[in-house]
Amino acid sequence: MIEVLLVRTSLSPPASRTTPRPLAAMLLAVAVAAVGLGPAASPAAAATLPAGAGSYTDSRPAGTSGPTTDTGAPVTPKLTTAARSKPVPTNDWWSSLAFQRYGGNPYSTPMYGHPLTYQAKASGLEVGYPTTPAIVGDGRQYEYAHKADLTVGLSGLNSPDTKADAWSDWTVTPYWADGSRTFRATIGHGMPFVYAKGSGGDARITTASTPTVFSDQGNVLGITVAGHHYALFAPTGSDWNVSGTAITAGLGGKDYFSLAVLPSPDALATYRKYAFSFVTGSQVAWQSTGGTVKATYSLTTEAKEGTERSTLQALYRHQWLHTTDALTPYTYVSPRGTMKVRESASFTTSQKNNGVVPALPASSGVDRARLTGYLNEVANAADPFSGATDTYWTGKALGRLAQLVPVADQIGQTATRDKLLGLMKGRLQEWFTAGGPSEFSYDKEWKTLTGYPASYGSDTELNDHHFHYSYYVYAAAIIAQYDQAWAADPAWGTMVKHLIRDTANPSRTDSAYPFLRGFDVYAGHSWASGHQGFAAGNNQESSSESINLSAGLVLWGAATGDNALRDLGSYLLTTESEAITQYWFDANQQVFPASFGHDTVGMVWGSGGAYSTWWTANPEEIHGINVLPVTGGSLHLAREKAAIKRNIAEMERENGGPAQEWRDLLWEFESLSDPAAAKAKWDGVNGNYTPEQGESRAHTYHWLSTLASVGAPDVAVSGDLPTSAVFSKDGTRTYTAHNHGSTARTVTFSDGKTLSVPARSTATSTGPGGTDPGPGEPGEPSTGNTFRLKSGGVLTTSTTDPAGADTIASADGVNRDGTPYRPNVYEIKKVNGKVAAGAATAFRLRVDAGTKVGLAPQVRVSYDLTGDGTFDRAETFRYFATDPVDGWEEYTQASGVKAVTGNLGELSNGTVRLEIWNALGNGTSQVQTGTDAAVLRIPYV
């Protein structure tokens, strides 16, 4: 079985798990046993280390194993001496440099940096730029597989291995040494450059085929290989020599050179400017304030020649959609859609905070007697943990109980609430105490904490720690909400923090655990494999279990007064939410190749994505695995309601009908876009079904009944407290927030609504919103600062209007660039607000010219500050050149500003107007309305 799976290089053997059904789980266990788990650990030298009231060990339990190769041999990190003092971040896009999972390969497997791909070999670093997708696996997977265009190294280099020498938030430096030569190459996400340093030989580039030289400027050489354009940069005074597929340059006593992949040959002059501004580090900084999450991504550089310290970096789609920083016209192809290039060493993104609530708000739609019966089913079960023994299934059971605690509390079932809390405490304390049947053990080599009994390679491959431990952190957060003493450091809080440090450590100086082990801050999501030992790169299947950890951090930080951890959770959740929206669900239909016949993927790979799971091809699980567990941290999924509807429709097509096995999960998912339809499906079976193993009838009934009553989440509005949320039905919003603090506070929402929340309580209110925050108080305009386009020429804060499309008139063959011609006009009046420092107008529109050639939708946004009919400020943006292919395309402010007149000032009963027209061509186009992809955001608070 394993030998057959190993042949499938793009899907490979199960290194990362999700939630297999019992039979699949048993088969997986047999498969793992077949390859062996290596020698049993000796418990003789084990020490028990105290952690508050709990403890863990520094040696594995007898009969268990830690990280191994594929043959079962123990393996230690593959690092240089200089790197050994720093915890290595396993579960990264480049982890195979450090984790030699496959013993016959001491270098690396393909690593997907985007736009470039890499693979280490004896002679140096293979570099590729895949631009054409392949559809494989019976049409179930798309991939931009690594294929070397060239190899960069030194003449004569023949290293026996490659080690990780240095790393930062999204860059890494591999190291080669063969006794005569040493070579390093710094690479990273979004980096079009490879920065090389070496000694003992000349710079050498070996191309996969004979290159075409398009520019020869001595130490700067432009070449084309396999249709891709590269620039090679040697120190000033050097000269590149081309002989067949070998290109060499003496370094003239220097030790550096670089290369870059170019968007086009005419970009060479721009890229040459930054050829010797070597990147030495990368770092993200985040903050969550006032309902907004901002993140700044910065590179540090060293000028090898001259004084230039800036650089070029390519932004992923989830980044450029949320930045107002200037971008160049340069773009790259990637498995995540178009990457856009910024000419700077940093950029900042800004998103509304995706709130997390302990439970949905109380509503009249819930029959309390019926809910009480369902709660008793769980609380009084003979085994509430369903026989779970390993880290994953124990976590699932803890999560199931944790969801019911605030629900029981909400309807006054305090005895049931306390019984559930007692069950959770007892099981967590068992795991948090060394020496029993379940415990955590610390691996000093790999700087990681592993729970035993382990599961799905969490021990031998360091997989999925963020999945497994998410449930423990979330459950502990719910306990902390009701029992702060239990969560204190002298009690059980220290052990909870060990799990957090293992999976989502915010510290870069902690010597015991790496910074954010599995979360790739630049890719915007986590990776599940601890070794990244696949031809397709690393992978993540259950993005929703990664979100579960972030939601747990928000709740744990809020409940324990650790605002830094709370805000870390907000940053991780908000960032990964957009990555899920774009890369798992392709909500804007701009990422998946046109030839890939699916609207969602179950797994994202470094090279692409797959409509599959690790254990089954059943469509219900493929669609459901990125939904579970459904919690108060799942509300972010409601942002793209049209994508949810497409997702459910595809599942039913592929499934040959509605869900049967995971129907509860998929009902809950559907309820985020259409609560009435989802509730009708529940009513159709009247509770007569088998819940998914992490779900319960009590939770599903409460979830569906509540949303049917208060409406779907309204993610266009956010609160200035991370533990808040808004729902909308028939024009009425329901606002809810939980205050974990010891004093009452007022929560202000982005539509101006305010909500007073008592200490350690949940508060709920309904209304249309629009409360004026008052003089000198923080808040947003009375109508909000984010508006949707609504057919009929309206800008609105409503999220309940139907999706549609308006026709944009033809330019009639005349160049209308910069001058509105028969524009579609969308307007909102009586807007109040103050200018937000550092903010800028932003918009996100979907346009389509069909098969027409040469159309160019263009936008102007105007501000009448006092509503007197005179527009004081007008901003005209560059037009968007549409393609002649049917399908929506994304038009944003990233196209750049063409002209500005007037100045911004305070809006007092002002008017905001957006005009869109066709600047070129001879045909009509369309613009979407009524969706989250038809949005204008103004720079006001």
3-state helix, strand, coil in the chain (%, to 5): 25, 30, 45
Read off the amino acid at residue 524. Answer: G
Structure tokens at 189: 């996400």
* pLDDT of amino acid 941: 84
Judge residue 42's burial from the number of C-beta atoms within 10 Å of its C-beta, 0-12 exposed, 13-18 middle, 19 or more buried.
Answer: exposed
Cis bond before residue 629 (omega within 30° of 0): yes
Residue 394 burial (CB count, 10 A): 25
Say which DSSP state 74 is in. Answer: B
> pLDDT, tens digit, for every residue of 678-701?
999 999 999 999 999 999 999 999
> pLDDT, tens digit, for every residue of 583-597?
999 999 999 999 999
Judge residue 34's burial from the number of C-beta atoms within 10 Å of its C-beta, 0-12 exposed, 13-18 middle, 19 or more buried.
Answer: exposed
Q: 214 - beta bridge partners? A: none
* pLDDT of amino acid 854: 86
> pLDDT, tens digit, for every residue of 722-757?
999 999 999 899 999 999 999 999 999 998 999 999
* pLDDT of amino acid 886: 82
Judge residue 353's burial from the number of C-beta atoms within 10 Å of its C-beta, 0-12 exposed, 13-18 middle, 19 or more buried.
Answer: buried
Mean pLDDT estimate for the chain: 92
Q: Please name the helix (run of DSSP H) or strand (run of DSSP E) that holds residue 794, with its range, or none.
A: strand 794-796
783: pLDDT confidence band, cut at 50, 70 and 90? low
Q: Which are the catalytic amino acids?
A: 464, 541, 545
* pLDDT of amino acid 103: 85
> pLDDT, tens digit, for every residue of 923-939?
999 999 988 889 999 99
Report the candidate in 254, 253, 316, 308 with the shortest Cα–Cα distance to residue 279: 308
* pLDDT of amino acid 878: 94
CA torsion 679-684-689-695 (nearest 10°) is 0
* pLDDT of amino acid 931: 85
Report the candidate in 400, 560, 398 with the shortest Cα–Cα distance to residue 480: 560
46: pLDDT confidence band, cut at 50, 70 and 90? low
> pLDDT, tens digit, for every residue of 815-825?
999 999 989 99
What order do you get walking across the sheet with 292-303 strand by strand? Answer: 277-289, 292-303, 346-352
Rounded distance between C-alpha atoms, residue 110 and residue 538, angstroms: 9
Rounded distance between C-alpha atoms, residue 263 and residue 249, angstroms: 24
Q: Is residue 39 predicted with pLDDT exceeding 70?
A: no
Report the candidate in 930, 933, 823 with the shortest Cα–Cα distance to residue 879: 823
Least confident segment among 155-164, 715-724, 773-782: 773-782
Half-sphere exposure of 314 (CA within 13 A, CB side): 28
> pLDDT, tens digit, for every residue of 60-92?
999 999 999 999 999 999 999 999 999 999 999
Read off the amino acid at residue 53. Answer: A
* pLDDT of amino acid 830: 87
> pLDDT, tens digit, for every residue of 412-421?
999 999 999 9
Quick one: CA dihedral 397, 400, 403, 406, positive or negative?
negative
> pLDDT, tens digit, for every residue of 430-458?
999 999 999 999 999 999 999 999 999 99
Quick one: CA dihedral 445, 446, 450, 453, positive or negative?
negative
